[in-house]
Amino acid sequence: MSVREVKLLGDPVLRKRANEISVEADIKLPDQVRSLIADMFDTMYAEEGVGLAAPQIGESVRVIVVDPHEEGIAPFALVNPRILSFSDEVDRAEEGCLSLPGLREVVERPLQVVVEGLDREGQPTRIEADGFVARILQHEVDHIDGIMFIDRVSPLKRKMLLKKWQKVKPDEE
């Protein structure tokens, strides 16, 4: 497996709704999807992240990987994840993004979510998450919908973040 280049704000792939992966019932995921998941984990760990969506490495498909580095929570991948429900209770916490290195801002999100998708073996799975894991899931599902965390802050904060991005973004090669 391999570490892939993380796409940065400005790359069109980050702003498109990613395509669902077609999976036939009772058949394990195709090898290319399993390989993509392995590359995503390798890339996420190399970049010291806690989550990664396929568009962030240039693949416009609905796949995310998560590792909150919390005791009792094993790293996991979701194919075609869907958030089924959000709690009414919200939490405000700072977020960053591998596609916006150097930027962080407080984002308000529901405290709990229920998500369905396929696991890395292609089996249906349902995750009920709260706190940090719920935040990661929402952040990554946003990515596969073409939404970035800067879209979840006030227009004034977004303008300030974009101005800062112009100063801190890595040079184009």
| Joined tokens for residue 53 | 């969506």
Estimate to the nearest angstrom the gap between the alpha carbon of 22 and the chain centroid: 20
Is 59 designated active site? no
The residue ranking higher by pLDDT, 172 or 64, is: 64
Per-residue pLDDT reduced to its tens digit, 46-92: 999 999 999 999 999 999 999 999 999 999 999 999 999 999 999 99
Confidence (pLDDT) at 93: 97
Q: What angle do CA 91, 128, 50 make, to 5 degrees?
A: 65
pLDDT tens sequence across 121-166: 889 999 999 999 999 999 999 999 999 999 999 999 999 999 999 9
pLDDT score for 170: 84
pLDDT surpassing 60 at residue 173: no
Report CA dihedral (171, 59, 2, 103) to the nearest 10 degrees. 40
pLDDT in tens, 19-49: 999 877 556 788 899 999 999 999 999 999 9
Closest CA to 111 of 134, 138, 144, 140: 134
| Active-site pick, 94, 128, 140, 173 | 140
